[in-house]
Amino acid sequence: MIIPDEAYQRLESMRPIYLDYNASTPIDPAVAKAMRPYLEQYFGNPSSAHWYGGHNKQAIEKARQQAADLLNCRPEEVIFTSGGSESNNHAIKGAAFANREKGNHIITSAIEHPAVIEVCQFLETKGFQVTVLPVDEFGRVELEALQRSITAQTILITIMHANNEVGTIQPIAEIARIAREHRIILHTDAAQSVGKIPALVDALGVDLLSVAGHKLYAPKGIGALYIGRGIRLEKLIHGAGHEMNLRAGTENVLEIVGLGMACEIARRDLQQNMAHAKEARDRLYNGLKQKLSEVRLNGHHQQRLPNTLNVSFPNVEANRLLAEIKDEVAASPGAACHSDSVQVSGTLRAMKVPLEYAMGTIRFSTGKMTTAEEIDRAVEIIANAVQRWKS
């Protein structure tokens, strides 16, 4: 079916307001433009010695430099992966297996993404011991608890940079000082922070850092892993010697080029994007507070991603409320209420958000395409829906 331009535009204008940038971002038009020749023209295998291969090899190395510039590291410290999940798997399993002779203890936190929690659970079945650190009511890991949990067997600490649900930013630089003192490898899952706030590996002091392309206006299915010099990792994908012999498989040139461009843009526009996302987020929060008597803000009030607003409306069922307004606003629930049970997210549970609030929790996340008009419309729609629910 061919959709005429006008009808297509009408369809576009009927789309719900997108307030779920932490779930995924649109591809930046400049990223799509950079990728297009690699979709239509340049198909060579980067390992081939001829012109076709050489051209694509150069494109990959340019993207590696762009990613390294964003993270403030050397290009040879970056490998490309299929996304945040693979980067986390490789960092955690790779470090655990490569350092097995030194110890078997891993420390993580209670608010990690499943792409970290499940990896740690898997390692438990392989003889590793995992300590899961609690967090305070704002979702921050306590440094004293971290200090206390370190043993002579500890080989790896894996704690996320910023939380995907509430946006709380962890004190990674301080955690790094503790890790360094004890000669423990430090990995951070920076899937949510890269492109949203400064995430410089030297300032953070981390050994391993995961990047997910689709959170910073690159496509889905591409990511990167920073591996600091001297850090040994067991391979996750065995095969030929691609990616400095760390990750086998002919490179995803198209998406690597996209990620490279997204990193360049993220670095160039970081301050501007942070200010824009924060303005939109705060406008949303203030608008909701003006219209509704009770809005609870979850997450740290200052140490938080500038685009993330996680709020609870007491005694509301978040998933049902979102289902009611799904044609107008797109956001994510913090809990799913079923006929006989409520499934609260692990992060809200770890932060001990009371059940009557947790069940009415919604994560809104803004981005560089969010407009003030969209926010004002969203405030009306959400506030009306909450009031309807309560009446």
Q: How many residues bind ligand PLP (CB under 6 A)?
A: 14
Toward ligand PLP, which CB reaches closer, 308 or 370?
Answer: 308
The residue of the chain with the least Cβ separation from ligand PLP equals: 84
Q: Is residue 164 near ligand PLP by the rule CB under 6 A?
A: yes
- Please say whether the dihedral angle defined by the alpha carbons of residues 321, 375, 277 and 326, taken in this order, is positive or negative: positive
CB 206 within 8 A of CB 176: yes
Q: Which of 31, 96, 115, 257 binds ligand PLP (CB under 6 A)?
A: 115
Q: Is residue 83 near ligand PLP by the rule CB under 6 A?
A: yes
Question: If 0-12 CB within 10 Å is exposed, 13-18 middle and 19+ buried, where does residue 122 land?
Answer: middle
Applying CB under 6 A, the span of 40-48, 64-72, 138-146, 187-195 interacting with ligand PLP comes to 187-195
CB of 88 to ligand PLP, least distance (A): 6
CB 388 within 8 A of CB 320: no
- Please say whether the dihedral angle defined by the alpha carbons of residues 312, 275, 68 and 221, taken in this order, is positive or negative: positive
Q: Is residue 196 near ligand PLP by the rule CB under 6 A?
A: no
Applying CB under 6 A, the span of 55-63, 77-85, 308-316, 355-363 interacting with ligand PLP comes to 77-85
Q: Which of 20, 28, 77, 189 binds ligand PLP (CB under 6 A)?
A: 189
Q: Is residue 192 near ligand PLP by the rule CB under 6 A?
A: yes
Q: Is residue 113 near ligand PLP by the rule CB under 6 A?
A: yes
Q: Is residue 223 near ligand PLP by the rule CB under 6 A?
A: yes
Give the number of other Cβ atoms within 10 Å of residue 226's Cβ.
29
Q: Is residue 84 near ligand PLP by the rule CB under 6 A?
A: yes
CA separation for the pair 168, 155 (Å, rounded): 25
Q: Is residue 66 near ligand PLP by the rule CB under 6 A?
A: no
Q: Is 73 a catalytic residue?
A: no
Applying CB under 6 A, the span of 80-88, 101-109, 226-234, 285-293 interacting with ligand PLP comes to 80-88
Taking 3-state DSSP, the helix, strand and coil percentages for the chain, each rounded to the nearest 5, stand at 45, 15, 40
**Which residues on neighbouring strands pair with residue 109, listed in sequence order?**
133
Toward ligand PLP, which CB reaches closer, 116 or 316?
Answer: 116
Applying CB under 6 A, the span of 79-87, 275-283, 303-311, 364-372 interacting with ligand PLP comes to 79-87
DSSP string, 230-261: T-----SS-SS-HHHHTS-S---HHHHHHHHH
Distances (CA, A) of 17 to 5, 218, 274, 281, 362: 21, 20, 20, 14, 15
HEC profile of 308-377: EEEEECCCCCHHHHHHHCCCCEECEECEEECCCCEEECHHHHHCCCCHHHHCCEEEEECCCCCCHHHHHH
Give the number of other Cβ atoms within 10 Å of residue 391's Cβ.
5
Catalytic site residue from 73, 120, 263, 337: 337
Q: Is residue 160 near ligand PLP by the rule CB under 6 A?
A: yes
x/- map, 19-58, ligand PLP, by CB under 6 A: ----------------------------------------
Using only the alpha carbons of the chain, give its radius of gyration: 22
CB of 23 to ligand PLP, least distance (A): 7
Q: Is residue 194 near ligand PLP by the rule CB under 6 A?
A: no
**Catalytic annotation, residues:** 337
* Contact set with ligand PLP (CB under 6 A): 83-85, 88, 113, 115, 160, 164, 189, 191-192, 212, 214, 223
